[in-house]
């Protein structure tokens, strides 16, 4: 469920690509500082996007030159409240993904759980409202899956509502309606695309998949889903147009207009995506 919301880096100018890296690396640095070095390995593009949106509205982060513990050299990294929040949000979402993987019988999740559990508890104490909403989302998702929900729109609803709350959390009141609707549409986009990406795997394991439950084979699911996915992107773009994000607007528009559609095409064609990291 991670790594889909990414830029189309070949379409970025060199300076803009470097600017995106400063956010990605900034969240990575904050993850290590706030939750331990092992958690850096969980980072994917998606929370870097949330960081672009938050800092575009709040402008509460600034470039710092810090040493990368992985590469060993000094890099430009964004640091500030938006970056720290997104690092914490990433821990919550990663922990939720691990619980989902455990339910699906993926053994690798058992190895990561002891590493992530202390970090999750720390973040949950700092953001009890978000953690409670995340738990409710997981329970609602589990109920729908056990019931074999055959409506893809209903199946995506819990995750979409949670992302709506996450995008609007702690933001200025005038920006919250647009951010909430942006998060909602991106949540639908991620859930539906993830289901397409996992279609063959879920079919082999006999696991729940909203497109299979609706009676579609993979080809029919792609034909049905792609227009809906593009509509989600269009709605997110309209929300972005209502926000003042001049600081990061070039990167946000690249992700919405170029990056996400290309990821959709790759998933529909069955092409393998990389792990979503720089």
- Report d(CA 136, CA 18) in Å as an integer: 38
- 3-class SS of residue 275: coil
Q: State the pTM of this model.
A: 0.93
Q: Give pLDDT, residue 111.
A: 62
- Report d(CA 232, CA 155) in Å as an integer: 15
**Which residue segments constitute the domains of the chain, with CATH numbers given?**
9-268 (1.10.600.10)
Q: Let me know: does 213 contact 192? Beta carbons within 8 Å.
A: no
- Report d(CA 205, CA 101) in Å as an integer: 13
Q: Give pLDDT, residue 245.
A: 92
Q: Give pLDDT, residue 105.
A: 63
Q: Give pLDDT, residue 154.
A: 97
Q: What is the mean pLDDT of each run of 10 residues along the chain (278 residues)?
A: 86 96 93 77 86 96 87 88 94 82 63 75 92 93 94 96 96 97 97 95 93 96 95 97 94 97 94 70
CA angle in degrees (0–180, nearest 5) for 273-29-128: 90
Q: Which two tokens stand for residue 54?
A: 């938050």
Q: What is the CA radius of gyration of the chain?
A: 18
Q: Give pLDDT, residue 49.
A: 96
Cα within 13 Å of Cα(68), Cβ side: 17
């Amino acid at each position: 469920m991670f790594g889909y919301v990414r830029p189309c880096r070949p379409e970025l100018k060199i300076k803009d690509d470097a600017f995106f890296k400063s956010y990605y690396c900034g969240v990575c640095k904050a993850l290590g500082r706030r939750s331990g070095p092992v958690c850096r390995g969980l980072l994917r593009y998606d929370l870097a996007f949330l960081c672009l949106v938050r800092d575009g509205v709040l402008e509460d982060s600034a470039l710092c030159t810090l040493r990368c513990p992985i590469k060993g050299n000094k890099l430009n990294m964004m640091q500030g409240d938006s970056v720290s929040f997104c690092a914490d949000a990433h821990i919550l979402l990663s922990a939720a993904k691990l619980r989902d993987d455990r339910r699906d019988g993926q053994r690798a999740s058992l190895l990561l759980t002891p590493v992530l559990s202390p970090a999750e508890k720390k973040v949950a104490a700092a953001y009890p409202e978000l953690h409670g909403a995340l738990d409710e989302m997981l329970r609602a998702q589990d109920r729908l899956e056990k019931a074999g929900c055959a409506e893809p729109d209903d199946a995506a609803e819990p995750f979409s509502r949670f992302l709506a709350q996450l995008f609007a959390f702690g933001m200025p009141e005038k920006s919250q309606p647009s951010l909430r609707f942006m998060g909602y549409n991106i949540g639908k986009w991620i859930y539906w695309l993830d289901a397409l990406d996992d279609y063959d795997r879920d079919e082999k394991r006999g696991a729940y998949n909203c497109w299979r439950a609706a009676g579609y084979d993979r080809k029919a699911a792609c034909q049905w889903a792609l227009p809906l996915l593009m509509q989600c992107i269009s709605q997110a773009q309209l929300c972005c147009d209502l926000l003042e994000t001049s600081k990061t607007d070039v990167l946000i528009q690249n992700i919405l207009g170029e990056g996400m559609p290309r990821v959709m095409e790759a998933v529909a064609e069955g092409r393998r995506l990389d792990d979503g990291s720089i």
